[in-house]
Amino acid sequence: MAARLDRIVVVDIEATCWEGEPPPGQVREIIEVGVCVLNVGTLERGERVSLLVRPTRSEVSPFCTTLTTLTADQVAAGRPFTETCAEIGKRFSARERCWASWGDFDRKVFAEQCDRESVPYPFGPTHLNVKTLHGLAHSLPHEIGMMAAIAQTSRKHDGTHHRGHDDAWNIAGLLAAILAAARGWPSDRGGI
Ligand code: AMP
Ligand code: MG
């Protein structure tokens, strides 16, 4: 079925991480799913949602806490991955809609973890890579990181970098700006 284009479900995950490879016996797991829903008609962003996920096959390293600010105690109070996926599918109608993230990392990690844990994938097939779209829309020679994109467009970064809900909010803002420009809207219109 064709994806509904009334809203775009913008997603940014945080995952357990280390300075290099995972220690023996551990695997990378999602510890936060940040969501910000973009209203396609008005280009206004909805609330920033942070869904904390309890890891079961890895630990939050000091390196990971330094990067994300998320602590082992915080994510231990999160919900199981399977419940989080069920909530995403239901609360955001994510299987029927287009969803978006910066790059392909989030899509790949979600697919891997759903596969590994036999959890139903919460999204539909229509994924929008905002990193690629941003590069194309701004005639860049190659893709750039989210923080560089914010700086390049003279936007204000908002919130804590490497927290899912704040990253999703900022990505949704970059996407809104691309869509506004494509429509010939002034950049100060609405929630852009
Ligand atoms: P981000 O959306 O940029 O906050 O990154 C998502 C996830 O990618 C983080 O939660 C980490 O698991 C991983 N990651 C991002 N940057 C780094 C880094 N410099 N070193 C190791 N892992 C990273
Ligand atoms: Mg992030």
Could you report the per-residue pLDDT of 114-133, keeping only the tens digit for each? Answer: 999 999 999 999 999 999 99
CB of 51 within 8 A of CB of 32?
A: yes
Distance of CA 189 from the midpoint of ligand 1 (Å) = 32
Distance of CA 6 from the midpoint of ligand 2 (Å) = 24
Could you report the per-residue pLDDT of 167-178, keeping only the tens digit for each? Answer: 999 999 999 999
pTM of the predicted structure, to 2 decimals:
0.97
**Protein residue with least CA distance to atom 14, ligand 1:** 17
- Round the average pLDDT of the chain to a whole number and report it: 97
**Protein residue with least CA distance to atom 20, ligand 1:** 19
pLDDT value of residue 51? 99
Which tokens is 183 given? 């429509």
CA distances from 142 to 23, 137, 145, 154, 182 (A): 33, 11, 10, 19, 20
pLDDT value of residue 12? 99
Could you report the per-residue pLDDT of 51-96, keeping only the tens digit for each? Answer: 999 999 999 999 999 999 999 999 999 999 999 999 999 999 999 9
Residue 166 Cβ < 6 Å to ligand 1? no
Could you report the per-residue pLDDT of 91-114, keeping only the tens digit for each? Answer: 999 999 999 999 999 999 999 999
Question: Alpha-carbon distance 144 to 61, whole Å?
Answer: 27
Report whether pLDDT(189) > 80.
no
* 189 CB-near residues (< 8 Å, 6+ apart): 43, 180
Query: Which residues partner with 53 through β-bridges?
Result: 79
Question: Strands (DSSP E) along 26-134, which ranges?
Answer: 30-39, 45-52, 97-101, 127-129
pLDDT value of residue 1? 85
pLDDT value of residue 131? 98
DSSP H or E segment with residue 19: none
pLDDT value of residue 191? 63
